[in-house]
Amino acid sequence: MAVKIRLARRGRKKLAKYDVVVADARSPRDGKFIEKIGTYNPLTVPATIELNDEKAFQWLMNGAQPSDTVKAMLSYRGVMLRKHLQIGVVKGAVTQEQADAKLAAWVKEKEAKIQTKRDSVSKSKLDSAKARKDAETKVKEARAEAIRKKAEAAAAVPVVAEAPAEGGEAPAETTEA
């Protein structure tokens, strides 16, 4: 029986979430599966991957074949590197301690990259919100200034119109000024 590690779609239309499942290769995409080992939500930034790394590693070592997307997720989480290092240990190329040290260093570096990405995303959100607020403030100030000028003009117009009527001068002079 050929076993695959693949995604099973969940969620409603245009709001997809996926379960990472171990299933027989002949079963349908959303059909029967052997074991659920995690979830994947591509709609968050960065995408949320919740995965039982131990179970995924165990299934990979037992011969399960990941789909392309799941293989990318497993590489992202370090499970494929762990499998590669474990095969090296079995063949005698490296010791278990060396493999564990390499994996730990890689995981530490990867977590730093992920945290940097999260920080940059949150910073860009804050910057865009601040820019929107500043633009809104400028528009509000411009409107207030326009209203103030309009009010001043409205207050000044009756005074100019009353002065010619009282002085007896022709209205032509007021239009020239």
**Per-residue pLDDT tens over the stretch 34-46:** 999 999 999 987 8
Kindly state whether residue 170 falls inside one of the protein's structural domains.
no
**How close are the terminal C-alpha atoms of the chain, in Å?**
97
Q: Which residue has the higher pLDDT, 95 or 155?
A: 95
Kindly state whether residue 25 falls inside one of the protein's structural domains.
yes
Kindly state whether residue 168 falls inside one of the protein's structural domains.
no
Q: Which domain holds residue 12?
A: 3-94
Torsional sign, CA 148, 150, 153, 157: negative
Measured N-to-C along each axis, helices 53-61 and 68-77 cross at an angle, to the nearest 10 degrees, of: 120
CATH number for the domain that contains residue 71: 3.30.1320.10
Kindly state whether residue 7 falls inside one of the protein's structural domains.
yes
Kindly state whether residue 114 falls inside one of the protein's structural domains.
no
Q: What is the pLDDT of residue 171?
A: 56
pLDDT band at 155 (very low <50, low <70, confident <90, very high): confident
Number of domains in the chain: 1
Kindly state whether residue 41 falls inside one of the protein's structural domains.
yes
Q: What is the pLDDT of residue 27?
A: 92
With H, G, I as helix, E, B as strand and everything else as coil, classify residue 38.
strand
pLDDT band at 147 (very low <50, low <70, confident <90, very high): very high
Are 21 and 6 within 8 A, CB to CB?
yes
Instruction: Tell whether omega for the bond before 164 is within 30 degrees of 0, i.e. cis.
Output: no
pLDDT band at 87 (very low <50, low <70, confident <90, very high): very high
Q: What is the pLDDT of residue 174?
A: 54
Q: What is the pTM of this model?
A: 0.69
Kindly state whether residue 8 falls inside one of the protein's structural domains.
yes
Kindly state whether residue 17 falls inside one of the protein's structural domains.
yes
